A and B are shown apart, each in its own frame.
Chain A
Amino acid sequence: MKQKIEYVDITPHRSIMLKLGQSGYSISEAIAELIDNSIDASLPDEKLNINITINSKEITISDNGTGMPKEIASKVLKLGFSTKEKEIKLGKFGLGLKTSCLSLGKTFEIKTSPLKSDEEYIMEFDEDEWMKSGDWTKHPLKIQKGIGKNKSYTKILIKNIIVKVDKKELEKLADEFGLRFGPFIETGSVEININNEICKPTLPKLTSHGRKPFEIKLPHGHVLKGWFGYKLAGSVKEYYGFNTFRRGRLITTYDKIGLSRDTKAKQIVGELYIDHVPVSHNKRQWITQSEEYKIVANELTKFLRDYDVRQNKIVTGFPAHPGRVEGTARVLFLGARTNAKDLERIKPGDILVTSMTRPQYLLQIRRAGAIVTDMGGMLCHAAIVSREFNIPCIVGTQNGMQKIKDGQRIIVDANEGVVYAAE
C-alpha cells in the first residue's frame, strides 16, 4: 500500500471569530476580562485608572496603562496571540479580548498608544464586514499620527450591543468588580469607574477574630498562601468560601475548596493565592481534575480541620431577618414603663435582647446591631420592624432574656436563627 500526502488548507473559517462571542460570557465576565487586560498593562508606580461607560448603544473601557506598541497592536485580533505566556500575568490563551468584545457587541474598535510614541494604532472589527470580506492575512491597522508622547492608553469601544444592560445589572457590576478587583482597589493601585461611579472594594465583615494569614508548604516546593476569617454579616448561606487568585487576579469567588459541603464552618471566608494550578481557558475556573488542584484541596482541608468549629450556642429561634452580627448584648424588657435610664444603656451596634419590641422604642431598635426576642413569629412586631429597617433579627427564642447575660459579647446569626457566645 502506498501512502500519499496532500497538503490542504486548514485556515480557520471566518465564522470562528463570531463563535467566540457565543462562549457564554456574562456581561460582568466579559468586562472583567478586559479589566484584567488593563491591569496587566498598568504602568509601574502609577495608579491605573479604568473608566467604563455603559449604555444601551455602546460600551467603552479605557485605561491609562502602558498602551500597545505597533507590533502588539497589529496582532491584537490574531487568535491565540498572547504577550503573557512567559510573564507572571493572568492571560495566556490569546482569546480573551476577542471573546469578551464579541460577547458584548457586534462591532468593536481598539485604540491604543504606547508611552513616548506619537502614534495611535486603531484596529476595528465588524461582524458583518468580516463575514462578507474578512481576510485573515490582511486586516487593516490604522495609524494616527500626532498623538502626545507623554501619555499612553488603550481604549476599547464596543458598538451594536447584543446584551441587555439595565439599572439592576449595572449595580451588580459595581458589586462584582468591587469583589473581583477588591485587592487592587483596596491598595489604591487601581481605580475603576463605571458610568462615573467609583467601584468600592467589597470586603467581607469578619468576627473579632479578624484575618488569620497562613502559609502551607506543598510538595514540589510550592507554597499556598492566603488568609481566612469567620464571616460576620451576610444574608446568603452559600456566600462563604475563598476568593481564589492566580497571579494576582481573581479566578473564583466563594470557592468551597478545602471546605466540605457539610462543614460546620460555613462562615469561613478568605483569600487563596494559587499560582501553580492550571486554569481553564476562560480563567473562570480551576482545572479541578489536575493533580496540582487535588493537592491544594487536600492540604487545605487538613489545615482547616482545626478551625472547623463554631462558637458555643446560647439560644435558637426563628430567623426573621438575615445577617450575622457580633456585639454586646443589652437585655432589656421594653414595656409600658421602661424608663430613660434603661434605654440609655443601648448604644449603637449593641444587640437588643428583649421580650418583644414596641413602636415607641423605635430609636433603640434602630440603634441596635441586631434584635433577639423571646416571643413572636414571622409576623410579630420585631420581625416586621427588622425587615423594614434591615436589622438582623431572631424571634421566638423563648428564653433569650434568661440565657443571654447583659453585657455579654454575642454573635447573632440571623441566617440560621442561632445566638452564639463570641468569646
Chain B
Amino acid sequence: MQQNNIPEDTFFLPRSLPNDLEGFAIFYPKKFPAIIALFEKLAKIYFKKPKEFKEFIYKEQKELFEGFYKIKKDYDKEKNKTNEFIVKTDERLHKLFCFKFWIVNYGFCDGPLHDYYVEKIRYYAEKIAEWEIIEEKEYAILDVERTLLQGDYADLYLQSAFIGIDLYNKLNSSKVFSNQISKIKTLISKHDDKSCYIIIEDMLKIIKTQKNTELKEIHELLKEPIETARVRGDNLALYQVIIHAFEFHEKNVELKQRYDDMVKHISHILDLGRNKLPKQECEELKVCYQMTNLFKEAKDVFGTLDPYIIPFWFGMLEELARRINVPKYMMNMGHAGMFYFLVWYLPAELKAKVFTPDPTLFDIKKL
C-alpha cells in the first residue's frame, strides 16, 4: 500500500474525535506534548501493517494493565491519602491512559486513520459491488461497504450473544432451575423485568455454590458478568445477561448462522476485489479491511480495563470531591473529573500541578 498520495494530515494527532466525550484530544496534547510526535511516528509505522498493529495492540494492553496495577498498588499501600497524593495519582492515571489507552483506542480507532480506511472501503465498494437491476445498485454497494466494515471479528456484543446460546441451553435443560426458568419465560413475555430479577437472585445463590459440574459450567459462562457485578456492587449485569439469553434465544441462534454466513460473504467480497481490481488496489482494500477489523478488536481489548479502572478512578475523584466540597451536580464525573471540575476548587499549588505540562514520554518504570 503506497503512502505517496496519502494526505499528510492522516497521520496527525487528531484535534477532535467523535467518541471523545471528555475532550481528551484538547487536554492531552497540552498536558503530555510528547504524545503528538509519538502518535505521528506510530501512525506511520502501523499504517500499512495489520499484523504488526495487532501485536502492538496487545503489547500496549499488557503495559496498560501493568501500569494500572502499579498505580493501584501504590494507592492501596498509602495510608495517608492526602489531596496532593490523590492529585498525583490522578496525574499518573492520565499519563497511563493517554499513552497506553487513548492513543490507540481513540487516536487510531476514531481518528483520521479510521476515516481514511472507511473512505477507501467505500471507494472500493463502488468498484467491486455487483447488481442485476439498477434498483439494487445502491443496496449492493452498501452491502459490500457494511459487510467489510462489520468484519469477521466477533466483538464483545456478538460474543455475549453467542454465550447467551450456551447459557440458554444449559439453564433450559437444567432440572435444578426448571421451575424458575418456566417463570422467567412467562415474565419475559410480559416484559416484567423486575419480577425476573427476584427469581434470578435466587438462582444466583445456587449457581455461586458451584457444588456440581452443571453449576460449575453455568458459573463459568457467567464469569464476566459475575466480575462486573462484583465491581459494580449489584447484580444488574447478571440479570441482564440471563434475561437476554432467554428473550433473544431464537435470534441469537439465527445470529450465529448469519455470522457464519458473513464470514463466507466477506471472503466472496474479497474474491470480487481480486477479480476486479488491479493488484495494488486489491492489496489496499485488504489492508483497509484488516485495519478496520483490528480497530474493532482494539476497542474490546482496551475496554477490558474498564471494569477495574472506572470504579477505582471515579471512586478516588469522588473522595476528593467530598473533601473539597464541590457542588453536588459536579459529583457525576468521568475520567476527566480532575481537570474539568475539581481543579477549580483545589489550592493554587495543586491547581498548578494539574495544569503543568509533562513533556516526557511514557516509561512504565518511571510511572
Contact = CB atoms under 8 A, between A and B. Distances in A.
A235 interface: yes
Interface residues of B, number: 55
A377 B110 contact: yes
A237 interface: yes
Contacts of A374: 21
A356 B311 CA distance: 19
Contacts of B240: 343, 360-364
Contacts of B41: none
Contact of A360 (B110, B237, B251): B237
B244 A366 contact: yes
A359 B156 contact: yes
Contacts, number: 122
B114 A389 contact: no
Contacts of A377: 18-19, 110, 114-115, 118
A387 B155 contact: no
Nearest to A322: B142
Nearest to B119: A378
A52 B114 CA distance: 49
B19 A340 contact: no
Nearest to A26: B132
Contacts of B137: 238
B232 A380 contact: no
A377 B110 CA distance: 7
Contacts of B197: 340
A7 to B, nearest CB: 47
Contact of A355 (B21, B134, B243, B306): B21
Nearest to A347: B191
B146 interface: yes
B168 interface: no
Contacts of B19: 356, 375-377, 380
Given A336-B311, A360-B237, A380 B110 contact: yes
B306 A336 contact: yes
Interface in A116-133: none
A388 B21 contact: no
A245 interface: no
Interface stretch (B63-71, B157-165, B337-345): B157-165
B292 interface: yes
A363 B243 contact: yes
B135 A239 contact: yes
Interface string A354-394: 01100111111111000000111111110111011100000
Contacts of B149: 378-379, 383, 387
Nearest to A364: B240
Nearest to A395: B18
Given A236-B138, A321-B146, A348 B255 contact: no
A363 B238 CA distance: 11
B24 interface: no
The number of chain A residues touching the other chain, given as a range, is 35 or more
A400 to B, nearest CB: 13
Nearest to A318: B18
A295 to B, nearest CB: 26
Contacts of B225: 360
Given A336-B314, A379-B118, A363 B18 contact: no
Given A340-B197, A363-B240, A235 B142 contact: yes
Find the residue from A335, A374, A381 having the highest chain B CB count within 10 A.
Answer: A381
Nearest to B292: A379
A360 B237 CA distance: 7
B247 interface: yes
B194 interface: yes
A355 B20 CA distance: 11
A254 interface: yes
A73 B28 CA distance: 84
A74 B30 CA distance: 91
Contacts of B295: 379
A359 to B, nearest CB: 4
Interface string B147-173: 001100001111011000000000000
A39 B352 CA distance: 85
Interface string A234-263: 011111000000000000001000000000
B310 interface: yes
Interface in A301-327: 321-322
Given A360-B237, A362-B157, A389 B299 contact: no
B257 to A, nearest CB: 13
A396 interface: yes
Interface string B284-297: 00000000100110
Contacts of B135: 236, 238-239, 254
A348 B146 contact: no
Given A347-B191, A359-B156, A388-B150, A375 B138 contact: no
Nearest to A362: B160
A380 B18 contact: yes
Given A238-B135, A377-B19, A377-B118, A387 B243 contact: no
A384 to B, nearest CB: 6
Interface string A84-98: 000000000000000
Nearest to A341: B194
Contacts of A365: 157
A289 interface: no
Interface in B250-272: 251, 255
B232 A336 contact: yes
A137 interface: no
A344 interface: yes
A322 to B, nearest CB: 7
B193 interface: yes
Find the residue from A344, A360, A367, A379 having the highest chain B CB count within 10 A.
Answer: A379
Given A356-B21, A366-B244, A238 B138 contact: yes
A286 B173 CA distance: 59
A339 interface: yes
Contacts of B11: none
A378 B299 CA distance: 13
B228 interface: yes
A336 B231 CA distance: 10
A293 B55 CA distance: 65
B108 to A, nearest CB: 11
B18 A236 contact: no
Contacts of B134: 238
Find the residue from A347, A380, A385 having the highest chain B CB count within 10 A.
Answer: A380
A383 B20 CA distance: 16
5 tightest Cβ-Cβ pairs between the two chains A and B = A359-B156, A363-B244, A236-B139, A377-B18, A385-B157
Given A322-B142, A375-B21, 11 more contacts: A235-B139, A335-B334, A340-B194, A347-B191, A362-B157, A362-B160, A366-B247, A367-B247, A375-B18, A376-B110, A396-B18
29 contacts: A235-B139, A236-B142, A239-B135, A322-B142, A336-B232, A339-B236, A340-B194, A343-B236, A356-B19, A360-B225, A360-B228, A361-B240, A362-B240, A363-B247, A363-B248, A366-B248, A367-B247, A375-B20, A375-B21, A376-B18, A376-B110, A377-B18, A378-B149, A379-B110, A379-B296, A387-B146, A387-B149, A387-B150, A388-B155
